[in-house]
Structures are given as structure tokens and as C-alpha cells.
Amino acid sequence: MNKDEIILAHKEFLFPSVFHYFREPLVVARAKDQYVWDADGNQFLDFFGGIVTVSVGHCNEEVNRKVHRQMDTLQHVSTVFLNEPQVALAAKIASITPERALTKSFFTNSGTEANETAILTARCYTGSSEIVALRHAYHGRSAATMTLTGQSTWRLGPVQPGVVHAPNAYCYRCPFGLEYPSCELKCAHDVEEVIRTTTSGRIAGMIAEPIQGVGGFITPPKEYFGIVAEIVRKYGGVFISDEVQTAWGRTGGKWFGIEQWGVTPDIITSAKGLGNGAPVGVTVARAEVADAVKGVTISTFGGNPVTATAAKAVLDYIEEKRLPENVTEVGGYLRGKLLEMQEKHPSIGDVRGMGLLQAIEFVEDRKTKKPATALTLEVLEEARRQRIMVGRGGLSGNVVRLSPPMNITKTDVDEFAGRLDASIAAATAKFQTVAV
Ligand SMILES: Cc1ncc(COP(=O)(O)O)c(C=O)c1O
């Protein structure tokens, strides 16, 4: 099919809810390392990584070699028979969880399923059904995980009972109108109020992203999760860290985002970057928590030998190439470039994130902080012209999200930063022209 045929077929044969960026959809033909080529042969520098998923570069040779070999050896038997790749991956994950405290894994195919499994596990372990989640969260697209999600855009259809939402730690737009640190972490302490006023006081647990991804890389103060985890446990719940975006070194220096906040959760969920594009989700829990799931449950493709091989190869690659260290260094360099841009462009209200998970929030005015959604859309269009790939997020769609492969270099950042700066300048000029 040529490009136009692909666009037409997409329109005719896919649900219209399968949304895409840009006024005219971008058709991608191939990718290698940090680059992606469109159907017209244009090369893009990819700083979104397929939504925080291409962790070790597109079509990574070391990973793919192992995957090809596994494809030709054993592709599928389901979980009713044992296979080595599944247990090897589980053992590897157990060896890198915080304090090695989470040792038992359940594999699925996506972050949504990983979170479904976590909620089920928390409910089995505690005998309670009530879950606390956060506003601005994103946890998936099933009925239960849409209910956990705290953004109207991503909550389709009826919600399920048993979920309450606490205000999040969004310092740039503090839900309490306070400022850190004089706020004394009001948002964290408010979780106790939420439990006491909107639940039975006996909760199954709380689920939260260490840095809220789809919400626009909203990064809490360092003390936040320590306080919150203690409150959750005080009321009998387990603490679930949704690391679909923040795991595997993405935040720099550590395997998991929650480690940046000094907390050891009871359950961690992840997917995305674990497989570098292979569909694999994992729910890893403390042994006694995992053991509470009585009876049997099955995921036909979960722990599939091919995707498990991909995931194990990705983790080995991250470890061998010391990518968490690279993330700290190159992520810090990228952050510096973004802060320079903030000084230059008044529309950049906030720069935030950690490691190679960095975001800029656009506002119409730094005083009112009115979200500049239309400008953000234009920045994306200009970024396309500049041949860079970036993501969008935030409740108002006014956040540009950057999550390149974790093995990029400072040279990539230099190339990217120049083009992003030009994109913002061009988008801003358009708006100024319209205003005149
Ligand atoms: C934090 C978080 N949790 C869960 C999910 C759902 O993952 P999936 O799209 O693989 O179902 C996502 C997806 O963006 C996510 O960012």
C-alpha cells in the first residue's frame, strides 16, 4: 500500500477512536536506533520512543537477535506448560526490585492488564475492595483501569464502584493553592482525609505513578510518596507503584521510579519499555501478597517465550550498557537545554520530569497559567516539519513530553534541542501573527 492508501484504509477499517497526532496523519515506514523514517523517506529523530516504550533503540540488534532465535525455537505453549524464558525473566525482575522485596511475577500483554492484576491482587490480599487513586493519573483502558484514571479524556463509559481519587502532587498547579515547601506536603497528608471521608477506612490499597506520565510527567516533591505509603499501610492497604512509564532506568540511576522517592512498594506494575516494543506486561509483588491470589487465573499470551525473551534481553542490555547512568547524564543535559528554552520562550510555564522523562508545559500567560493547548498543537506540527518526534500530554493537552530511547547521546540532544527550539519559535510566531 502507498501512503494515501494506508491513510484511507485506516479511516475505513479502524475504530475512529484509534486517534493519531497531526492534522494529516504521519505514516511510519521503518525505524532504527533513535531514528524513524516516514512513508516519504523523511528521517525523524525520535524523542518520544513510541510513547515511552522504545527503551533501548528501535530494532535493537542485540535484543532482536535473541528474539529471532527464540521465534525459531519455541513461539508459544501458553502458561499451562512451563518454559525457560518466562522463569528466567521473572528471576531477573525479582533480583532488581527495590530491596529485592518483590519476588513473584505475573505476566500479561499490557500495562492495563498489569494494573488489573495488581488491583485483583490487592483485593485478594486485604479482603477489601476500595482503592485510592490520584487525580491526573492514567492507568489503562479497561473498565477498572479507566475508573482508576483521573482524566476525563481517557474515561469512556460507565465507571466501577470502589475507587476514590485524591488530589495529586502537582506543584505547578497546586490543588490547594500552596507552595512547596511551606505547604508541608498538604497533598500527601490529604490522602488520609480522603480515606477517612470517602472510604470505609479499610482499603485494599492505593495505586499511583511515581511520576504521572500521560498527566504530563507531573513530578511530586521528594517526601510525597514516603508520607503517602505510610498512610496507605496504616489503613490496611497495599501500595501499588504503576511503573508503566517510569521503570527500567527511565528516571536515571535506579531501576524503578519509586526508588527515587525511597519507598519500597508492595506491588509494581510495568509494560512499555520492558519489551522495547514487544507486548509484555508484568505485575510483581511481595511473595505473601502474590500468594493471596487463590484459585487459578490465566493469560494465554502472558509469559510468552518470545516476549519474555525480548524483555529479558532488554533488561540485560540496560544493565550491560549501564543505561540508567546514561539516563542521569544525558537526561540532565536535556533538562539544561529545556531550562534555557524556558528563559527564551515566555509560553513555557514549567519544565519538569526526571532522567529521560522530561516535559514542558505551555501556558498563555505565566501569571494566569492558562493552558496553551492550541499553541502546543502547533508546536507538534512544527516539530514534524523539523523532523523530530515528541509526545503530548496533560489534562489540557498543553504538555510536550520527551522520552527518547535511553541509549541516546548528548549529540542527539544537541540536534534535538536546536530543532525543538525552532519549532517553538515558529509556532509562537504563528500565534503572534494571528493576534496582530
Ligand atoms: C502509567 C500507565 N499505566 C498504564 C498504562 C496502560 O498501558 P497499556 O497501554 O500498555 O495498556 C499506561 C499507558 O500509557 C501508562 O502510562
* Main-chain dihedrals φ then ψ at residue 256, nearest 5 degrees: -120, 145
CATH of the domain at 268: 3.40.640.10
* Domain match, 291 and 305 both: yes
Average pLDDT on 400-409 reads: 98
* Domain match, 403 and 261 both: no
CA of 210 to the centre of ligand 1 (A): 13
* Domain match, 170 and 157 both: yes
CA of 151 to the centre of ligand 1 (A): 13
* Domain match, 104 and 142 both: yes
Average pLDDT on 10-39 reads: 95
Q: Is the peptide bond before 181 cis (omega within 30 degrees of 0)?
A: yes
CA of 140 to the centre of ligand 1 (A): 5
CA distance 85 to 80: 14
Counting Cβ atoms within 10 Å, is residue 430 exposed (0-12), middle (13-18) or buried (19+)?
middle
Average pLDDT on 187-204 reads: 98
Last residue of a domain, one of 256, 289, 320: 320
Residue 51 Cα: closest atom of ligand 1: 14
Q: What angle do CA 140, 406, 328 make, to 5 degrees?
A: 105
* Domain match, 214 and 305 both: yes
CA distance 375 to 400: 11
Residue 273, ligand 1, Cβ within 6 A: no
CATH of the domain at 329: 3.90.1150.10
Range of the structural domain that residue 34 is part of: 3-56+323-435
Residue 137 Cα: closest atom of ligand 1: 1
pLDDT reading at 433 higher than 80:
no
Residue 213 Cα: closest atom of ligand 1: 16
Residue 112, ligand 1, Cβ within 6 A: yes
CA of 389 to the centre of ligand 1 (A): 20
**What DSSP state is assigned to residue 173?**
G
Contact 324, 336 (CB under 8 A): no
> What pLDDT does 432 receive?
79
Which of 116, 134, 138, 211 should be mutated for ligand 1, with most atoms under 8 A from CB?
A: 138
* Domain match, 189 and 291 both: yes
CA of 36 to the centre of ligand 1 (A): 22
CA of 184 to the centre of ligand 1 (A): 31
Last residue of a domain, one of 320, 338, 372: 320
Instruction: Write the pLDDT tens digit of every residue in 331-372.
Output: 999 999 999 999 999 999 999 999 999 999 999 999 999 999
* Domain match, 285 and 426 both: no
Contact 148, 188 (CB under 8 A): no
* Domain match, 270 and 293 both: yes
* Domain match, 67 and 85 both: yes
Instruction: Write the pLDDT tens digit of every residue in 139-184.
Output: 999 999 999 999 999 999 888 999 999 999 999 999 999 999 999 9
Residue 217, ligand 1, Cβ within 6 A: no
Share of the chain above pLDDT 70, in %: 99
> What pLDDT does 434 receive?
55
Residue type for position 326: N
* Domain match, 163 and 251 both: yes
Average pLDDT on 393-416 reads: 98
Residue 192: Cβ within 10 Å count: 17
* Domain match, 381 and 284 both: no
Q: 3-class SS at 44?
A: strand
Last residue of a domain, one of 320, 350, 365: 320
Residue 111 Cα: closest atom of ligand 1: 7
> What pLDDT does 19 receive?
87
Instruction: Write the pLDDT tens digit of every residue in 309-318.
Output: 999 999 999 9
Residue 269, ligand 1, Cβ within 6 A: no
pLDDT reading at 436 higher than 80:
no
- Which of 234, 291, 250 is CA-nearest to residue 267? 291
CA distance 159 to 282: 24
Domain count, the chain: 2
pLDDT reading at 21 higher than 50:
yes
Instruction: Write the pLDDT tens digit of every residue in 34-92.
Output: 999 999 999 999 999 999 999 999 999 999 999 999 999 999 999 899 999 999 999 99
Instruction: Write the pLDDT tens digit of every residue in 214-272.
Output: 999 999 999 999 999 999 999 999 999 999 999 999 999 999 999 999 999 999 999 99
Using only C-alpha atoms, the chain has a radius of gyration, in whole angstroms, of: 21
Residue 243 Cα: closest atom of ligand 1: 1
Q: Where are the beta strands (DSSP E) in 209-356?
A: 238-242, 267-270, 281-285, 348-354
Between the two ends of the chain, the Cα-to-Cα distance in Å is 44
Mean of all residue pLDDT scores within the chain: 97
Residue 213, ligand 1, Cβ within 6 A: yes
* Domain match, 405 and 338 both: yes
